[in-house]
Amino acid sequence: MTTYDFTTNELLIKRGFDLERTRYVRHDHRALAAWRRGVGNFDHFVSYQRDDSLSPYNGAELAVQFVPQGSTGALFVGAHYIVESWAAIENPERNPSLWTPLEEDYGQDLNHRRYDLVRVNALEDMVGRLIIDWGAATRSWSQWAERKPKPIVELRATAEDEAFPGFGEFASTIQELLTLPASWQGALASVNGVYLLVCPETGEQYVGSAYGEGGFFGRWASYAANGHGGNKLLLKRRRTNYAVSILEIASPDMSASEIINRENAWKVKLGSRAHGLNAN
């Protein structure tokens, strides 16, 4: 990774942009998922925003868009001129200019504002390559550029997915699973074994195993869908964004019963029955 003694504000000024009405926007995991599905999907997603003073585009003429990259990093995925906006309830039949019928319909709940956006061609060469440090205040996800310059921490040679870290180093959350690059999802779907869920609020652990078609990713997808994956103790708890990691990879010739035996061994080792979230 190359670290640059250079900020986003300096970059925009060199490219001829006025910072006065420019906002930096670091979207959440939903926008990252939309970005993974393609530029058109992302453009559609960001054309719908809340209709109050906390809208990320309030008073801006240019929105510089980012998606999460690690805990405080952000990947640049495009910039948009804000051409026009309107309350959806006042004109529900009008779609944003970057609307696409292939994307999820975000317009069903009319308590939002719709925006006509135009992608900024002059910054397209940086899309998928530029990574910044957003800073610790990630809850402040929309900020005026003039007040909050962002240090550039990496400029990739090409726009490509980050390399899969390996099964032993892999760590994510249930909420972020569907936003992972397709190559990562494929790797996780190709193997079975024993995994660990950790509650971010209490630190309680749940040990589980994947031994069917779809591997780890297929098993974890059920948690992403319903929050509990059919597990007794998790069913009784409110939905939580569990941290997820891999404890052990099963060899290709291991049977389901052998993997379950390894799961039980890990439950004993970690005490997840007595002090965790395993019911059996």
User: Residue ranges per domain, the chain?
Assistant: 8-155, 171-270
Architecture of domain 171-270: 3-Layer(aba) Sandwich (3.40)
Q: Is the dihedral of CA 11, 16, 18, 23 positive or negative?
A: negative
Ranges under pLDDT 50 in the chain: 1-2
203: nearest Cα among 242, 245, 247: 242
Contacts of 260 (CB under 8 A, 6+ apart): 209, 211
pLDDT recorded at residue 122 = 94
pLDDT recorded at residue 126 = 94
Output the CA–CA distances (angstroms, integers) from residue 123 to 47, 87, 95, 126, 248, in the order listed: 19, 29, 25, 6, 43
pLDDT recorded at residue 265 = 96
Other C-beta atoms lying within 10 Å of the C-beta of residue 149: 18
179: nearest Cα among 37, 27, 77, 24: 37
Question: Which residues make beta-bridge pairs with 69?
Answer: 73
The pLDDT tens digits of the residues spanning 174-186 come to 888 878 888 899 9
Question: What's this model's pTM, rounded to 2 decimal places?
Answer: 0.68
218: nearest Cα among 240, 179, 190, 251: 190
| Pairing status of strand 193-198 against strand 205-210 | antiparallel
pLDDT recorded at residue 81 = 97
Lookup: tokens for 174? 């249930």
Lookup: tokens for 154? 């990496």
Chain centroid, CA 270 distance in Å = 29
